Chain A
Amino acid sequence: MAKTFFLDGKEIPFQDGQTILDAAMKAGEYVPHLCSSPLLDPHSSCRVCTVLVNGRPFSSCSQPAVAGQQVQSNAPEVRQLRRTIVQMMFTEGNHYCPSCEKSGNCKLQATAYYLGLHDNRFNQMFPKRGMDSSHPDVHLDRDRCILCEICVRASRALDHKGVFGAVGRGIKHELSVNSPSGTLVDSAIAPTDKAVELCPTGALQPKNRGFQVPIGERLYDREPINVVGLRQYEECVHGK
């Protein structure tokens, strides 16, 4: 018999070594997350997937499931925590959805809708981390980056290129490009890279394909992220 734990009272089966997030998603229970992908090692940096395990907070993307444990993903304090974290992301970066090509396909935006965000609450920081438009086919806007480092991990583990890395510390932490000039133009990046595809925000986008799908008809315009997320998770796991 498979081992199980309890997610908001519901029994979830899991295999040894599986994380809480993995087991929950496999069982069709959506837990919001931004820095996690079934294709990559966990990073536990965005903290949106935080749950209470027997009353203590853990990031479900990196915490192994244990038989019999009580996991709360829908407790009021967890919901408030996630809302505040996503508000922090909107505060820290320049996320102007109406003028962003990623709008409607953006996980950050879709997660904000899912969590019922109405405002950013805190004072905007208006960062000036800088753009990189040097490459003919890929665009990097660091001010739309939430530092999930999915591109860092994907470029290394899936694209086998290691194009990205992190520099700086604290609020000066930012994405950097591994190339002689430090810009994308002389890096090994391609618009078809997983690093570009998996970026959850508008930070990394392919160029030359603006508004091919009109706003209002895009991925998360049609279905909310909990539905899309579970479907993508299943496709991903089967594809592996």
Chain B
Amino acid sequence: MPETTAVAWAEALDRVLARYDKNAESVLQACIDLQEEVHCVPPEAQVAIARALGVTTLRVKGVVSFYSFLSDTWLGEYVVYLSDNITDQMLGNRALAQRLCGRLGVEIGRVRGDGRVSVHLTSCTGLGDQGPAALINGQAVTRLGPERVDQIAQLIEARRPLAHWPGEFFRVVTNIRRSDGVFRKPVPPGEGIKACLGRGAQVTMPHTEELNPEDAGQAPLDRVSEEILKQIQASGLRGRGGAGFKTAIKLDTVRAQKGRERYVLCNADEGEPGTFKDRVLLMEYPDMVFEGMTIAALGVKATEGVIYVRGEYRFMKDHLEGALARRRQLGLLGKDILGSGLDFDVRIHWGAGAYICGMETAMCKSIEGRRGIPRRRWPLPVHQGFRKRPTLINNVETFAALATIGLNGGKWFARYGTEQSSGTKWFSVSGDVDRPGVYEYPHGVSLREVLRDSGARDAQAVMVSGASGTLVAEADFDRALAFEDLAGVGTLMVFGRQRDLFDVAWNFAHFFQHESCGLCTPCRVGTTLLVSILEKFKKGWGTQLDLEDVKLLATTMKLGAHCGLGQTAPNHLVDAITRFPHVFEGRMQTRDFTPAFDLNGALEEARQLAGRTDVAAFVPVH
């Protein structure tokens, strides 16, 4: 590390620590800021952070070693992360990575000798509709091609600051291709809240008349809360993060908990490969998301809100902070919001490259400044979530939908979609389609219709709901996209007939191995074993026994893994083996068992050393 940088962290750390409360919850945010400023969190800095925030050094080390974008060694002046989702790979990102590394004279994962640059691969960055994508010093870069890669190499060699790079490199577009009933007319800031307060004022609840005079001031808020719950119940809204849990039940449970402190968390971790609709919502309609959070806060009488945004979306920092500041100016956040009696504000908490943090309990830990390890299942976050207090956690799109329900009412929302899946859904469509982007449809639309509208080219398969979802073959394209049929987060990655679906399985297997938190045995070991089996197939050494092992591992992970990550990680592979067996059969030896290594190959060096070429020096091959 050049000396200047070694000195720089100390000054930078002073600046960083001044931004945060001096407690354990600030550990992750302080590390992220320091990483952003000096491109590392060296062990000496970890000691200093631990001392300043009153935690052990080991706790800081645990955090730095957990999140992908944090590093205890210096990553150089320019840090390039190339998005490595299957859709990026289909657009040739690996060749571009080679090209970039060749131009810069650097190996993937290594810092160049002069400390100028390092190049890495990373999980999907949420730009699947405008890839191949990258993050350079934390800023999103889109639509990479040979020419752009060459320019980037030149700019790095010339040591040009990012601020002086062509703005076009950093242009992130929203690609909203289709709007339907719910999001066609965005909710103007405050209108959803006002409508909720108005409904609460109209209703007289019989029991409120019996309240003590000193409680009377609280009564209107109780009525508002009750009315919000009724509207959400009428809307039939289910969580848009993939699981599809009834929002009303969550809200009602949090509402019923004792104690004053309760929280509303917005899940903007959006780590599911191929998913980018939350990014688009936050870029286009941040007010609707915050409006929905505020309505939820009125519903559960929450004191504090946090939006957990994945580190990949750091380019939206000013945009989101600006939206929050505007809402505070308008009195839509802060003390006594629009005279409701509710004090509520929202702050942003940043992630740093960890898919697992999209899991509710892991997210709570992460916001507490810890490693994002999912907690045991009970008690649920609605009972004991963030800071062990009742916590309502919902996806970005769910909150945006809440804003429209707040304004237009639950019945209006339920007009769209199906009986079990009310409302509309935003779909992230990418892969082999002419018009990748975001599409809004009422729930229940057929997969085939979305494929037609997005200009799918000769699709042989679609991965529905990201890497943890379902690999759907053409025979099933008429199935409905809804919770009662093809459920999920609304992510469609389309694979044309020219694609080798083995590459899809290989990519997702590596993704899950990289993202497993490591807590439980079935997931930690299972994801690694699945990768090693696929590597064996890649060499053409697969056997029937390996396929049996995949099935055994899949069952073990599904039954045994601690959380949804491990339980769903083998799905894509089981789907691929079941629905596209030829993909694997072509990579198999005919025998039941083939070793995972080439015995004769391993002996080659010894033969050379011994100068042997005779038959007896070779292992007989049957």
On A, residues with C-beta under 8 Å from B are 42-48, 50, 57-59, 62-64, 77, 80-81, 84-85, 88-89, 91-92, 121-123, 125, 146-147, 162, 165-173, 176-178
CB closest chain-A residue, reference B558: A57
Cβ of B525 and Cβ of A171 under 8 Å apart? yes
CB closest chain-A residue, reference B519: A45
B596 close to A (CB within 8 Å): yes
**Complex CA distance for A64 and B380, rounded to whole angstroms:** 12
CB closest chain-B residue, reference A149: B519
Cβ of B552 and Cβ of A84 under 8 Å apart? yes
| Most chain A CB inside 10 Å of its own CB: which residue of B65, B377, B514, B525 | B525
**Complex CA distance for A183 and B549, rounded to whole angstroms:** 38
Number of interface residues of B (CB under 8 A): 41
User: Given known contacts A165-B58, A178-B57, is B376 in contact with A47 (CB within 8 Å)?
Assistant: no
Chain B residue contacts of A81, Cβ below 8 A: 555-556, 559-560
User: Given known contacts A88-B529, A176-B58, is B561 in contact with A62 (CB within 8 Å)?
Assistant: no
Cβ of B524 and Cβ of A62 under 8 Å apart? no
Choose among A57, A77, A88, A170 the residue that contacts B515 (Cβ–Cβ < 8 A): A170
B98 close to A (CB within 8 Å): no
Cβ of A176 and Cβ of B62 under 8 Å apart? yes
Chain B residue contacts of A64, Cβ below 8 A: 378
- Per-position contact with A for B504-538: 1 when CB-CB < 8 Å, else 0? 00000000011111111110111111001000000
**Complex CA distance for A63 and B377, rounded to whole angstroms:** 8
User: Given known contacts A169-B516, A170-B527, is B62 in contact with A44 (CB within 8 Å)?
Assistant: no
**Complex CA distance for A178 and B46, rounded to whole angstroms:** 13
Cβ of A47 and Cβ of B514 under 8 Å apart? no
**Complex CA distance for A146 and B526, rounded to whole angstroms:** 14
Choose among B377, B524, B532 the residue that contacts A173 (Cβ–Cβ < 8 A): B524
Within the complex, the shortest CB–CB distance from A212 to chain B, in Å, comes to 31
B78 close to A (CB within 8 Å): no
User: Given known contacts A77-B559, A167-B62, is B529 in contact with A173 (CB within 8 Å)?
Assistant: no
Within the complex, the shortest CB–CB distance from B239 to chain A, in Å, comes to 20
Chain B residue contacts of A167, Cβ below 8 A: 58, 61-62, 65-66
Cβ of A165 and Cβ of B524 under 8 Å apart? no
B56 close to A (CB within 8 Å): yes
Cβ of B528 and Cβ of A58 under 8 Å apart? no
9 pairs of residues in contact across A and B, judged by CB atoms under 8 Å: A44-B520, A45-B519, A47-B562, A81-B555, A85-B522, A165-B62, A168-B66, A169-B371, A169-B516
Cβ of A89 and Cβ of B519 under 8 Å apart? no
- Per-position contact with A for B553-590: 1 when CB-CB < 8 Å, else 0? 10110011110000000000000000000000000000
Cβ of A176 and Cβ of B596 under 8 Å apart? no
Interface residues of B in 586-606 (CB under 8 A from A): 596
Choose among A47, A92, A147, A168 the residue that contacts B65 (Cβ–Cβ < 8 A): A168
CB closest chain-B residue, reference A42: B376
Choose among A84, A89, A170 the residue that contacts B518 (Cβ–Cβ < 8 A): A170
Cβ of A89 and Cβ of B521 under 8 Å apart? yes
**Complex CA distance for A146 and B518, rounded to whole angstroms:** 11
Cβ of A123 and Cβ of B596 under 8 Å apart? yes
User: Given known contacts A45-B520, A88-B522, A178-B56, is B65 in contact with A57 (CB within 8 Å)?
Assistant: no
Chain B residue contacts of A57, Cβ below 8 A: 559-560
Chain A residue contacts of B57, Cβ below 8 A: 178
Closest 5 CB pairs of A and B: A173-B518, A88-B525, A62-B376, A178-B58, A170-B516
**Complex CA distance for A58 and B371, rounded to whole angstroms:** 23
| Most chain A CB inside 10 Å of its own CB: which residue of B376, B515, B562 | B376
B91 close to A (CB within 8 Å): no
Chain A residue contacts of B562, Cβ below 8 A: 44-45, 47, 59
Within the complex, the shortest CB–CB distance from A111 to chain B, in Å, comes to 12
Within the complex, the shortest CB–CB distance from A125 to chain B, in Å, comes to 7
B389 close to A (CB within 8 Å): no
User: Given known contacts A50-B559, A178-B58, is B524 in contact with A170 (CB within 8 Å)?
Assistant: yes
CB closest chain-A residue, reference B63: A167
Cβ of A123 and Cβ of B62 under 8 Å apart? no
User: Given known contacts A45-B520, A59-B376, A122-B529, is B556 in contact with A171 (CB within 8 Å)?
Assistant: no
Chain B residue contacts of A162, Cβ below 8 A: 56
CB closest chain-B residue, reference A61: B376
Chain A residue contacts of B552, Cβ below 8 A: 80, 84
B100 close to A (CB within 8 Å): no
CB closest chain-B residue, reference A85: B521
User: Given known contacts A81-B559, A84-B552, A162-B56, is B528 in contact with A168 (CB within 8 Å)?
Assistant: no
CB closest chain-B residue, reference A165: B58
Within the complex, the shortest CB–CB distance from A60 to chain B, in Å, comes to 11
**Complex CA distance for A173 and B596, rounded to whole angstroms:** 25
B382 close to A (CB within 8 Å): no
Chain A residue contacts of B559, Cβ below 8 A: 50, 57, 77, 81
Cβ of A58 and Cβ of B520 under 8 Å apart? no
**Complex CA distance for A91 and B556, rounded to whole angstroms:** 15
**Complex CA distance for A62 and B56, rounded to whole angstroms:** 27
Chain A residue contacts of B246, Cβ below 8 A: none
Within the complex, the shortest CB–CB distance from B619 to chain A, in Å, comes to 19
**Complex CA distance for A57 and B562, rounded to whole angstroms:** 10
**Complex CA distance for A166 and B528, rounded to whole angstroms:** 19
Q: A47-B522, A165-B58 are in contact. List 20 more A-B contacts (CB 8 A).
A: A42-B376, A44-B376, A63-B377, A81-B560, A84-B552, A85-B556, A88-B522, A89-B521, A123-B529, A123-B532, A123-B596, A147-B518, A167-B65, A169-B371, A170-B518, A171-B527, A173-B517, A176-B58, A176-B62, A178-B56
Cβ of B560 and Cβ of A47 under 8 Å apart? yes
CB closest chain-A residue, reference B47: A180
B230 close to A (CB within 8 Å): no
B411 close to A (CB within 8 Å): no
User: Given known contacts A50-B559, A58-B377, A123-B596, is B62 in contact with A166 (CB within 8 Å)?
Assistant: yes
Chain A residue contacts of B522, Cβ below 8 A: 47, 85, 88
B327 close to A (CB within 8 Å): no
B59 close to A (CB within 8 Å): yes
Within the complex, the shortest CB–CB distance from A120 to chain B, in Å, comes to 11
Chain B residue contacts of A121, Cβ below 8 A: 549
**Complex CA distance for A48 and B560, rounded to whole angstroms:** 8
Choose among B58, B59, B517, B596 the residue that contacts A169 (Cβ–Cβ < 8 A): B517
User: Given known contacts A169-B66, A171-B528, is B560 in contact with A85 (CB within 8 Å)?
Assistant: yes
Cβ of A168 and Cβ of B518 under 8 Å apart? yes
B34 close to A (CB within 8 Å): no
Choose among A50, A165, A170, A178 the residue that contacts B514 (Cβ–Cβ < 8 A): A170
Chain B residue contacts of A125, Cβ below 8 A: 528
Choose among B56, B378, B525, B561 the residue that contacts A165 (Cβ–Cβ < 8 A): B56
User: Given known contacts A81-B555, A85-B556, A88-B529, is B521 in contact with A47 (CB within 8 Å)?
Assistant: yes
B248 close to A (CB within 8 Å): no
B354 close to A (CB within 8 Å): yes
**Complex CA distance for A102 and B568, rounded to whole angstroms:** 36
Cβ of B378 and Cβ of A169 under 8 Å apart? no
Chain A residue contacts of B377, Cβ below 8 A: 44, 58, 62-63
**Complex CA distance for A171 and B512, rounded to whole angstroms:** 11
**Complex CA distance for A124 and B526, rounded to whole angstroms:** 13
Within the complex, the shortest CB–CB distance from A187 to chain B, in Å, comes to 10
**Complex CA distance for A45 and B523, rounded to whole angstroms:** 10
Within the complex, the shortest CB–CB distance from B518 to chain A, in Å, comes to 3
CB closest chain-A residue, reference B56: A178
**Complex CA distance for A79 and B521, rounded to whole angstroms:** 16
Cβ of B513 and Cβ of A170 under 8 Å apart? yes
- Per-position contact with A for B532-553: 1 when CB-CB < 8 Å, else 0? 1000000000000000010011
CB closest chain-A residue, reference B549: A122
Cβ of B517 and Cβ of A170 under 8 Å apart? yes
